Chain A
Amino acid sequence: MNHWIIAPIVLPAIMAPILLMGARHDIVLARIFSIASTVALLGIALALTTMVSDGTILTYALGNWVAPFGIVLVADRLSVMMLVLTAALALAVLFFAIDGGDRDGRHFHALYQFQLMGINGAFLTGDFFNLFVFFEVLLIASYGLMVHGGGASRVKAGVQYVAINLVGSTLFLIAVGMIYSVTGTLNMADLAVKVPQIAAGDQALLQAGALLLLLVFCVKAALVPVHFWLPGTYANASAPVAALFAIMTKVGAYCVIRLYILAFGADAGAATWLAAPWLLPAALVTLSLGMLGVLAARRLGQLASFAVIGSMGLLLVGVALFTPVALSAALYYLLHSTLAGAVLFLIADLLARRRPGEDDALTVAPRFSQLSLLAGAFFVAAIAATGMPPLSGFIGKLLILDAALDNRQFALIWTLVLGTSLIAIIGFGRAGSTLFWKSTGQPGCFPAQAESNALALVAIGLLLAGNVGLTLFAGPLTSYLDATAEQIFSTQHYIEAVLGSTIPEGGKP
C-alpha cells in the first residue's frame, strides 16, 4: 500500500497541534513551521501527481479494513489536481498572511493547517460519511479563521456563516441517512454499484436523498438560491482568509463532479443523470446574478465576492453539461477562477490598508502609496476574472462555450455567458477607473505606509503568475485535463480500483 496518499491529511494534522502548543508565543517560529508544512504539502501533492499521471487510481485502506466496510482514501487525477491547487493557493496566501495579517488574532497558523487538513481530506476520501467528517473539519477551522481579527461586523457575519453551515451539515446528515437506508452503503464506489439495483419502490427515497445531498454541495458552492451567505462572509473575513476560502466553494463543485458522475451518472438505472435537470438552470442563474452583483457592488471586497459567485456559476455550467469535453473545460476554469478570485481579495485588502477612512469602497479618493503597482495588479486580475484575452479566463470561457455547442440549450448558454461577460467587464472597468484612474487626478495624498508590504505583493505576484502560467501552458494542461475528465467518466475503472483491491497486500482479508 502506498502511504503517501494519506500524507496530505496527516501532515497538517500533526503540524497544527505543534503550532498550537509549541509555537504559541513565537510568531516567527509559527510562520516557519506553517510555511514549511505548506511547502511540504505542495511537494507531496506534486509527487502524487507523478504517481497518478499514467492513469492509475491509488487507494489506501485505513487500518487495512477492506473497501466497502472500512474507510478508503482514493487518489486519482482529479483529487490530486485539487490537492496541488489547494497547496499552491495556500502557499501564496500564507505569504500574504505573514506580512502582518496573522498577528491580528491568535492561532491563525494552527487553524490554517486544520483548514488544509479538512480540504485535503475532502478531496481524497472515497466514503461519503467520511466526506461529512472532513467537511466538518474544514468548517470548524473556517469558523475560527472567519472571525480572525475580530470586529463587530466580522463576528456578526461569522454567526450567520456558522448558522447556515450548521443547517447545511444537518441536511448533509439527513441525506446520508436516506441514501444509506436504501442502499446500505457509505462507500462511493459501492454506492455506484448498488444504485442501479435499487427497487422501483425505493427510488423516491434514494433520489430525494441524492438531491438533498446536491443541495448541500450547492450551499458549499454558493449556487443560487443558496448563495446568500457568500458575499457577507467573504467580504467581512480578513483578506488571507477570504482568499483561502476561494478553494472552499470548489470543494462543493468537486463533490458534485465526483458523486453525480460516479454514482448517479450514465449507469444509474432510474436515477441516471439525476443532477443534470437541476444543476444547469441553477448554474445559469448563478452566473447572471453573480455578474450583476459585480456591477452593483460598492466595495472592492464585495465585487470580488460576487465575481466568485459568478465564476462558480460558469464553472457549474460546464459541469452540468455532463460530457467529458465540458468537464475538462470546467476543470480548466476551476483552476483559473480559484487563483483569479483569491488575488482580488488580496488586492482589495492592500487597497483598504492604504486608504484609511475610505477602505476598499469604490469611491474617488486622494492618491495613495504604490498606486500604480496596485493598479497594474488589479488590471491583470480584472482581465483574468472577466475572461478577456489574453489571459486564462478567456481560454476557460472559450473552452466551456465550445463544449456547450453540442447541448440543446446552447443558444441560451452562449447568450448568458457572453452577456454576463460584458456586464462583468463594465463592472470591473468602472471599479478600476474609479479607484485608480480618477484618484490620480485628486489633490492631496493619503499618508504613506510605514511598511512596503513586500511579501504581500509577492503573494499577489505569485497568484497572477499562476494565471499567466495557466495561459502559457494551456496546451499541455488541457490534454492532462482531457485525460482527467475521461478518467472521471470511466466509472467502471474507479469502482474496480476501489472494490477490486478488497484484499490488501499483506494477506489479512
Chain B
Amino acid sequence: MEFLLSTAIGLLTAGGVYLVLRARTWPVVLGLALLSYATNLFLFATGRLVLNLPPVISPEAAAYTDPLPQALVLTAIVISFGMTAVIVVMALRSYLENGSDHVDGKQEDAA
C-alpha cells in the first residue's frame, strides 16, 4: 500500500509540475489541480497508513488512526477547490481581454 500511495503521489506531482510549466493557462490550471490532489494525498499519508482503525474514540477500538491529517485534508480540499474556481475564471477573463491564453499574453509566434 505504501508503494502504491507514494507512486500515485509522485506521478501526480510530476504531471502537475510538467503542466504548470506549460505556456498556456489551461494546462497550468490543470497542473495546479493535479498538484493539489498530490498534496491532499500526501497530507493524508502524514498520519501514517493504517487499515480499519477508527479516528474517533469508541469503546471497542484497540487503536486509532490519526484524525488530524483528515481534518487538514478537508480544509485543504475546500481551499484548493475554491482557488481552482478562481483561477479558471481569471484565466477565462484574461483570455477574453487579451485575445490569447498564453501566460505572458503573447501571440502564437512567440512560442
Contact = CB atoms under 8 A, between A and B. Distances in A.
A181 B79 CA distance: 21
Interface residues of B, number: 33
Interface string A432-463: 00000000000000000000000000000000
A140 B39 contact: no
A159 to B, nearest CB: 5
A162 B48 CA distance: 32
B42 A156 contact: no
A158 interface: yes
B108 interface: no
Contact of A143 (B32, B90, B103, B104): B90
Interface string A212-227: 0000000000000000
Contact of B105 (A152, A166, A170): A152
A162 B90 contact: yes
A473 B82 CA distance: 45
Interface string B73-100: 0011001101100110011011001100
A162 B46 contact: no
A167 B32 contact: yes
A180 B98 contact: no
B20 A174 contact: no
Main secondary structure, interface of A, reads helix
Given A143-B86, A155-B97, A180-B68, A160 B103 contact: yes
Query: Which of A156, A162, A167 has the most chain B CB within a 10 Å cutoff?
Result: A156
Nearest to B25: A159
B90 A159 contact: yes
A321 B68 CA distance: 36
A169 B36 CA distance: 9
Interface string B22-49: 0001001000100110010011011110
B50 interface: no
Contact of A174 (B39, B94, B98): B39
Contacts, number: 92
A163 interface: yes
A162 B68 contact: no
B71 to A, nearest CB: 9
A158 B39 contact: no
Given A169-B79, A170-B39, A180-B46, A159 B87 contact: yes
A153 B98 CA distance: 8
Contacts of A345: none
B86 A159 contact: no
A488 interface: no
A196 interface: no
Interface string A283-324: 000000000000000000000000000000000000000000
B79 A136 contact: yes
A96 B73 CA distance: 40
A156 B94 contact: yes
A56 to B, nearest CB: 30
A166 B83 contact: yes
Query: Which of B79, B86, B87, B93 has the most chain A CB within a 10 Å cutoff?
Result: B79
A503 interface: no
Contacts of A143: 86, 90
Contacts of B94: 152, 155-156, 158-159
A505 B107 CA distance: 64
10 contacts: A129-B72, A140-B83, A143-B90, A155-B98, A158-B94, A159-B94, A160-B103, A162-B90, A163-B28, A169-B79
Interface of B: 20, 25, 28, 32, 35-36, 39, 42-43, 45-48, 68-69, 72, 75-76, 79-80, 82-83, 86-87, 90-91, 93-94, 97-98, 103-105
Given A151-B97, A166-B32, A170-B80, 10 more contacts: A129-B75, A136-B79, A143-B86, A143-B90, A150-B97, A162-B90, A169-B80, A177-B43, A177-B69, A181-B47
Interface of A: 129, 133, 136, 140, 143, 147, 150-153, 155-156, 158-160, 162-163, 166-167, 169-170, 173-174, 176-178, 180-181, 186
Cβ-closest 4 pairs across A and B: A181-B46, A152-B97, A177-B46, A156-B105
